[in-house]
Amino acid sequence: MQTIKCVVVGDGAVGKTCLLISYTTNKFPSEYVPTVFDNYAVTVMIGGEPYTLGLFDTAGQEDYDRLRPLSYPQTDVFLVCFSVVSPASFENVKEKWVPEIAHHCAKTPFLLVGTQIDLRDDPSMVEKLAKNKQKPVSFDVGEKLAKELKAVKYVECSALTQKGLKNV
């Protein structure tokens, strides 16, 4: 069986681990546990053929900037994640994450993934952002950045509700 190596990157606390746990186990983790490195394997069907999809979780925290790239060799695809309710994590896609993967794996394709979409219309979250003169990142803005950075595609999901999760 062929293997596809998929590495997930993005700022700390944007929901990378929740996305992977929700996808692989259909359960949503109830508390935040910062990740150092973790991986998950699932079997997926592509064109009627079974593949092992190796999902590699990484730590977004800056303390791991030197350690994180150790998981990059032989990556087939990256998921570059940001939270739609964290404009700072969205900025870091172009300021940090895409340059980092381009530096280590110049020709490896990536998807841009907007996470936590269940919070985009959450009144308390919208209010919290408004206090800082910010608003949630819209689908159109995410799609525009994906095109600008030459991502394969822009997709969104919620690990909590699983909306868009299998699509990712």
Query: Does some domain include residue 150?
Result: yes
Q: What CATH number is given to the structural domain containing 36?
A: 3.40.50.300
Confidence category of residue 36, pLDDT binned at 50, 70, 90: low
For residue 165, being part of any structural domain is answered with no
Instruction: Answer whether 0.85 is exceeded by the pTM.
Output: yes
Residue 167 covered by a domain: no
In a domain, 163, yes or no: no
List CB contacts of 75: < 8 A, sequence separation 6 or more: 5, 6, 7, 56, 105, 108
Within-domain flag for 131: yes
Residue 59 confidence (pLDDT) = 86
Provide the domain count of the chain: 1
Q: Which of 34, 1, 4 is nearest to 17 (CA)?
A: 34
pLDDT at 63: 84
Structural domain includes residue 143: yes
Q: What is the DSSP letter of 33?
A: -
In the predicted structure, residue 38 carries a pLDDT above the cut 80: no
The C-alpha atoms of residue 75 and residue 90 are separated, in whole angstroms, by 23
Question: Is residue 145, in this structure, part of any structural domain at all?
Answer: yes
Instruction: Confirm whether 161 is domain-assigned.
Output: no
Pick the more confident residue, 55 or 24.
Answer: 55
| Cα dihedral 20, 21, 22, 25 in deg (nearest 10) | 120
Query: Would you state the pLDDT for residue 17?
Result: 87
Q: Give the closest residue to 37 by CA, choosing from 15, 9, 13.
A: 9
Domain range holding 52? 2-156
pLDDT in tens, 73-109: 999 999 999 999 999 999 999 999 999 999 999 999 9
User: Per-residue confidence at 32, pLDDT binned at 50, 70, 90?
Assistant: confident
